[in-house]
Structure 1
Amino acid sequence: MSNITKVDSITEYNNMVGIETLHPLVSVIDFSKAEPFHYSKTHMNIYAIFLKDIKCGNMTYGINNYDYEEGTLIFVSPGQVFGVEGDGKPKKGAGTALLFHPDLIHGTSLGKHIDEYTFFSYEVNEALHLSAREREVINECFKNITYELEHAIDTHSKTLIVSYIELFLNYCKRFYERQFVTRNHVNKDILARFETVLKEYFASEQPLLSGLPSVKYCAEKLFISSNYLGDLLKKETGKSAQEHIQLKLIDVAKEKIFDSEKSISEIAYELGFKHPQHFTRMFKKSVGMSPSEYRNMN
């Protein structure tokens, strides 16, 4: 098993790649100006965004490997494992990285809303692939943050740097929405497979054994992250992943209710509910009447 390097601070990462620390909580690294360094898997306890200008081979991100393409942005949040398997020899890096410590954004607008940038929890194969124009915008953001880092730290430094990072992330949010649109054919395939996963789940014994299907379960079956599935569904349909699961549940429930030989409680258990009253409450909220009333109506 390869060793994993732990990085808890900006200074530790800067030292690893031979870059001077201009600010203890944030850094922009141009790898073409960095020293050659030993590639390794790194357990990051800081936020990091990497833009690579060339393919750099087999990269580890979380528990998966990925062939990192040119012009791709990858987002790493504290607690994730990231890196490229090294061969023991120091190598020159390529591309640019923005790193910032969670302490930088505590008490700021960005700190309050950082969880809204769900792409920090995407899998690496859901990375952001930039167009040429988008790369220009991202590079301009890097330049603005670098300018502030090279400026003497004053009372405005933190506000401006955090504002530039927030602008950077908002551009990324926009570019991801573009990627959802331009990869529409891929998204449609995921939606179709999502529907199949739910259909097969409710047709099996899984609800009795494991209860209601979770978003995490469905995402794992589709080999994507929960956040990516949720964002994709929201973009394509306007509904969350949980809402889709509930709609499928109600559809299946309506079919089962037609079987008058089964009690409402039996149907509730078959669908994965531990308590029949929870099923009745959900059904009534969605359909406007209780399961019994729906059965009698038909």
Structure 2
Amino acid sequence: MNKHFPQKIQGIKSFNQYVKAEMPKHDWIDIGFYPDSFILTSPPVCPNFYRISIKFELEDEDGRSLMFFSSPNQPIEWDVKKPFKGYYIQITEDIIANYQHLEYSFLTYGLHEPLYLEKEEEMIITQIFKDALREYESADFSMNLLLAYCNLMFAHVSKFYERQFGERKEKYNRLVNDFFELLNTYYNNNNQNVTQPTVTYFAKKLNITPNYLSDLIRFHTGKPVLEHIHLQIIDTSKSLLKSNKHTVSEIAYKLGFEYPNYFSRLFKKVTGKSPSNFQNQ
């Protein structure tokens, strides 16, 4: 396996063979508990489906249970010293795409932000896993019922993440501050071959996923991260427009826009004025 290119694993069955878990009963969805045979160490691998898991008795976690999430082709790796307990749901990309009410942003958080469960939350999530597993193991399980269990679990998880965002302020304040520092200095540090700032760019710089960054910034500021990016673009453009040293088109290119009319459209949307009217006022 090339350490620079994580192994791609196609399908739930292939992944279960790799980790030494029970074979799935269905190609689209798999629900199970972690067996003692589950491998304890793995280099980065990229399953092509979603994984949702709860793990108990992990080392160095003070007895707290954690939930982890990964999305298709997102690298995951682990290295634990002893077997752990827990449950998992594995579900294909097509299922999530076809049932859009299941498309929660935390599904793409990856290993960057596990959910630390309080005891009451752990009881709620564990019971849903048990109920879903009981249905999955029945001879004629209902796919609709399994997806309903997923939907119920995801709604709880979304609520629990809000609690976590509010509690772990020191960590999150640092991330939020780092984001705004990167945003405020973006054009100063990208003078050559500048491109428009994107959510993906900042997420990569902060080593988190775009959805995680978006949810974090929205929770702490009340505004989407893209709105903050657009406001920074407009503030920078206003200074350039006021200087009267550049045409509107030149400013658009300096800000990373491939087409000046896209910049003009954004400027008017945010300010209510065209760039030329602002420059000439």
Q: TM-score range by the shorter chain?
A: 0.7 to 0.9
Does 95-104 or 75-84 show the bigger shift?
95-104
Are 1:82 and 2:70 counterparts? no
TM-fit CA distance, 1:72: 1.3
TM-fit CA distance, 1:104: 8.3
TM-fit CA distance, 1:251: 1.0
Name the amino acid aligned to 2:58. K
TM-fit CA distance, 1:247: 0.5
Residues 17 and 7 (structure 1), Cα distance of their counterparts in 2 relative to 1, 3 Å cut: farther
1:203-227 deviations in Å (ceiling 9; x for gaps): 2344x51321111111112222111
TM-fit CA distance, 1:15: 8.6
Name the amino acid aligned to 2:16. Y
Distance in 2 between residues matched to 1:121 and 1:18, nearest whole Å: 23
Equivalent of 2:131 in 141, 144, 148? 144
Gaps of 5+ in 2: none
Check the 8 A contact 2:64/2:117 in 1, yes or no.
no
Aligned equivalent of 2:215: 231
TM-fit CA distance, 1:94: 1.4
Equivalent of 1:72 in 66, 71, 88? 66
1:171-217 deviations in Å (ceiling 9; x for gaps): 111111111111233333222222211221112344x5132111111
Amino-acid identity (%): 30
Q: TM-score, with normalisation over the residues of structure 2? A: 0.84
CA RMSD, Structure 1 to Structure 2 (Å): 3.1
Aligned equivalent of 1:185: 170
Aligned equivalent of 1:98: 88
Residues 146 and 275 (structure 1), Cα distance of their counterparts in 2 relative to 1, 3 Å cut: closer
SS in 2 for 1:224: coil
SS in 2 for 1:101: strand
Residues 124 and 289 (structure 1), Cα distance of their counterparts in 2 relative to 1, 3 Å cut: same
Equivalent of 1:51 in 43, 51, 54? 54
Equivalent of 1:286 in 255, 270, 275? 270
Aligned length: 276
1:251-298 deviations in Å (ceiling 9; x for gaps): 11112222123322322222222232322222122111122222232x
Aligned equivalent of 1:204: 189
TM-fit CA distance, 1:228: 0.6
Name the amino acid aligned to 1:255. S
TM-fit CA distance, 1:128: 1.1
Name the amino acid aligned to 1:170. A
Distance in 2 between residues matched to 1:11 and 1:196, nearest whole Å: 43
Are 1:217 and 2:218 counterparts? no
Distance in 2 between residues matched to 1:43 and 1:72, nearest whole Å: 21
Residues 138 and 14 (structure 1), Cα distance of their counterparts in 2 relative to 1, 3 Å cut: farther
Residues 199 and 147 (structure 1), Cα distance of their counterparts in 2 relative to 1, 3 Å cut: same
Aligned equivalent of 1:275: 259
Check the 8 A contact 2:132/2:149 in 1, yes or no.
yes
Name the amino acid aligned to 1:185. E
Name the amino acid aligned to 2:33. D
Aligned equivalent of 2:105: 118
Matching of residues 227-266 of structure 1 within 5 Å: 227-266=211-250
TM-fit CA distance, 1:134: 0.9
